[in-house]
Amino acid sequence: MERLPPWCILLMCLAVATADPLPQYYNAIFSFGDSFSDTGNFVIINSGKLPNMPKFPPPYARCSNGRLVIDFLAEALGLPLLPPSANKGTNFSQGANFAVMGATALDLKFFRDNNVWSIPPFNTSMNCQLEWFQEVKQTICSSPQECKEYFGKALFVFGEFGGNDYSFAWKADWTNEQVKGMVPKVVASMIGGIEAVLDEGARHVVVPGNLPAGCIPITLTVYATEDASEYDPRTGCLKRFNSVALYHNALLRIELDRLQRRRPESRIIYADYYTPYIHFARTPHLYGYKRGALRVCCGGGGPYNYNMSASCGLPGATVCEDPDAHVSWDGVHLTEAPYRFIANTWLKGPYAHPPLASIIRDDMVY
């Protein structure tokens, strides 16, 4: 682990420093989610369809300057970086990544029915990803028994989901109360999706929560306000967006606990993006983020260096020379440095409940 904050000596460094390397435990990883874990699907699905779509040969096509949490998990678990599921003809026997930039937990129909037109007409929602999973399944196992055994030895990472659902609603000018009203639907949809993979034989499922949307530079730029009371003075983040993320995460944890009780043979892990991000925002220097948590590395000017008309990848945007000193890569997604930090905390604690390494060790003992 790099850039260990000083307090870490007390809380977690010893555990990290003395931890044995993780044993090879899983045969594969299957990942579902959005741009925080997309390892190429968006680019493959849209190549030739969207104007100005740059070409990214593998292993690129990620929204970051390097690896994502899912990549660090694969590396730590001794598996190859996950191939995007849209890459037809790939051998997916060691896993597949169904995550796509922009994906939502709710289907397109929900947004259409509720008159939300800010969502592009992509069919990439959680349920679409579960359909793609069925196609991939046919290429890696045959009998129901064989498939169940195979998925029982795989790791499933289910999320992040929800961040896009809420952001499309905010974009459609929904009120705080209306956006909060979506949360139970989003969480119920996710629980249904997790039950679907458990029914396929999955035993270990990592479920990431939402990031603090109010700390993301695009939110801070688009919803900037003169009203100082809208900002949390400890972080500079916009409180109302964070409060939806907090509510989502709290409800998700309650429902995951319930699901765990209904499915005692499985291990369901809540993985926390929110808390580490808030720590970065409060005390960025402790983590090595000299440019802070709210300033964008690849951007086009403005108070947070985020400019919608010159966002990362568009003419007018420039890339900083010290991405590791920034939390935010492009105004929405993180740089590799915080992703690496967060992945380690999900593997070894303290930001996964329970940490992945502890359930692997439990399972190997019993």
Among 21, 54, 57, 121, binds ligand NAG (CB under 6 A): 121
Report, in Å, the least distance between residue 305 CB and ligand NAG. Answer: 9
The reply to whether 91 sits near ligand NAG by the rule CB under 6 A is yes
225 near ligand NAG, rule: CB under 6 A: no
Buried/exposed 99-132: b ≥16 CB within 10 Å, e otherwise: bbbbbbbbebebbeeeebeebeebebbbbbbbeb
Report the 10 Å Cβ neighbour count for 301. 14
Q: Does residue 159 interact with ligand NAG by CB under 6 A?
A: no
Is residue 102 a contact point for ligand NAG (CB under 6 A)? no
Beta bridge mates, 205 = 156, 268
**CA distance linking residue 237 with residue 235, whole number of Å:** 5
Give Cβ neighbours of residue 131 (< 8 Å, ≥ 6 apart): none
Closest separation in Å from C-beta 193 to ligand NAG? 18
Given the residues 31, 35, 266, 311, the one annotated as active site: 35
Q: Is residue 330 flagged as an active site residue?
A: yes
The dihedrals phi and psi of 17, each to the nearest 5 degrees, come to -65, -35
Applying CB under 6 A, the span of 204-212, 257-265, 296-304, 327-335 interacting with ligand NAG comes to 296-304
Out of 309, 322, 362, 363, the residue judged to bind ligand NAG by CB under 6 A? 309
For ligand NAG, the closer CB: 11 or 308: 308
**In terms of CB distance, is 28 or 259 closer to ligand NAG?**
28
Residue 93 within binding range of ligand NAG, rule CB under 6 A: yes
Q: Least CB distance from residue 91 to ligand NAG, whole Å? A: 4
Q: Establish whether 333 is a catalytic residue.
A: yes
How far is it, in rounded angstroms, from Cα 209 to Cα 47? 30
Query: What whole-number distance in Å separates Cα of residue 209 and Cα of residue 162?
Result: 8
Beta pairing, strands 95-97 & 154-158: unpaired
Question: Judged by CB under 6 A, which stretch of 91-99, 167-175, 218-226, 251-259 contacts ligand NAG?
Answer: 91-99
8 A C-beta contact, residue 40 and residue 310 = no
Contact range with ligand NAG by CB under 6 A, out of 60-68, 248-256, 307-315, 335-343: 307-315
Kindly state the smallest distance separating residue 323's Cβ from ligand NAG, in Å. 20
Q: Binding of ligand NAG at residue 316 (CB under 6 A)?
A: yes
CB-closest chain residue to ligand NAG: 301
- Where would I find the H helices in the chain? 8, 14-18, 41-46, 69-76, 108-113, 126-140, 144-152, 163-171, 176-199, 217-222, 239-262, 274-282, 336-348, 356-365
* Residue 117 DSSP SS3: coil
Query: With respect to ligand NAG, which residue has the nearer C-beta, 1 or 141?
Result: 141
Tally of residues, the chain = 366
- Please tell me the count of residues contacting ligand NAG according to CB under 6 A: 12
Strand duo 95-97 + 28-32: pairing: parallel
The answer to whether 52 contacts ligand NAG (rule: CB under 6 A) is no
Asked if residue 94 binds ligand NAG (CB under 6 A), the reply is yes
Closer to ligand NAG at the Cβ: 18 or 115? 115
What is the C-alpha to C-alpha distance for residues 155 and 258, in angstroms, rounded to an integer?
20
13, 301, 353, 361: residue in contact with ligand NAG (rule CB under 6 A): 301
Position among 90, 118, 123, 176 found at the interface with ligand NAG (CB under 6 A): 123
For residue 155, give Cα distances in angstroms to 144, 184, 206, 360: 18, 26, 8, 10
- Based on the shown chain and the rule CB under 6 A, indicate whether residue 125 belongs to the binding site for ligand NAG: no
Binding segment for ligand NAG (CB under 6 A), chosen from 86-94, 216-224, 236-244, 265-273, is: 86-94
Q: Which SS3 state, helix, strand or coil, does residue 141 take?
A: coil
Among the listed ranges 1-9, 208-216, 281-289, 308-316, the one in contact with ligand NAG (CB under 6 A) is 308-316
Cα R_g (the chain), whole angstroms? 20
| Site residues (vs ligand NAG, CB under 6 A) | 91, 93-94, 121, 123, 300-302, 307, 309-310, 316
The catalytic site residues sit at 35, 330, 333
